[in-house]
Amino acid sequence: MFRRRIPRAGRMPGRIGSHPKLQQANDLLGAGDFQGASQLFDELAQSAMTRNGPAVPHLLIQAGRAKILTGQIPEGIKNIKGALDVFAQRREWMRLIRTRSRAVQQLRENGMEQEAVDIESYLSDLIPTELSSLQHEEPVTPISKAISRLPVSCPGCGGPIRSDQVEWVDEVTAECPYCGRIMRN
């Protein structure tokens, strides 16, 4: 017999399964309230750090991005470096390199050359010497029909979805890096 699922307290209808603050932070970021979004992403990142949650680096990146958009550039760079540190501690080298590449590219596109150079040099200190050859390679993400059909944002939490950030369960199933929701094409 099928049972009706009862949403837990504090959950928003329509987005069952993700944290309400995460939904709100992504909504604020999308609406251009970068200050409010950065505060919520910071709170979420700090909370996730106490549990060593898998979304910590992604939350730090979003907090850093929101801070940079509000003009708090040093604080935003600190968040980005914090995310790179987490990837390094977890020995997730390809994610570290992808995140660095994306951050450097976005900083340069916004005229922040010195900050981009700072992130690049910071990365050279994090990657072990035996992996230093990977540092300058652009990671290749295979293009497939599944990747091209991923939603732009998670239907669960509203977080931005990138094919190189999600954890692929199989060829057509991916997991949101923020809330863990499974998305199938």
Query: Is residue 116 pLDDT above 80, yes or no?
Result: yes
Beta-carbon contacts of residue 154 (< 8 Å; ≥ 6 apart): 18, 160, 161, 176, 178, 179, 181, 183
pLDDT of residue 18: 62
| CATH fourth-level superfamily of 20-138 | Tetratricopeptide repeat domain (1.25.40.10)
For residues 112 and 71, the answer to whether their CB atoms sit within 8 Å is: no
pLDDT of residue 7: 47
The one-character DSSP state at 176 is -
pLDDT of residue 4: 52
pLDDT of residue 130: 64
Query: Is residue 126 pLDDT above 90, yes or no?
Result: no
Span 119-145, mean pLDDT? 62
Q: What are phi and psi of 17, to 5 degrees?
A: 105, -5
Angle at 56 between CA 77 and CA 105, to 5 degrees: 40
pLDDT, mean over the chain: 79
| Distance from C-alpha of 33 to C-alpha of 66, rounded to nearest angstrom | 9
Express each pLDDT in 169-180 by its tens digit: 777 788 888 777
**pTM to 2 decimal places:** 0.72
- C-alpha distances (whole Å) from 179 to each of 67, 81, 131, 158, 185 are 22, 22, 30, 9, 18
Express each pLDDT in 45-102 by its tens digit: 999 999 988 889 989 999 999 999 999 999 999 999 999 999 899 988 888 888 888 8
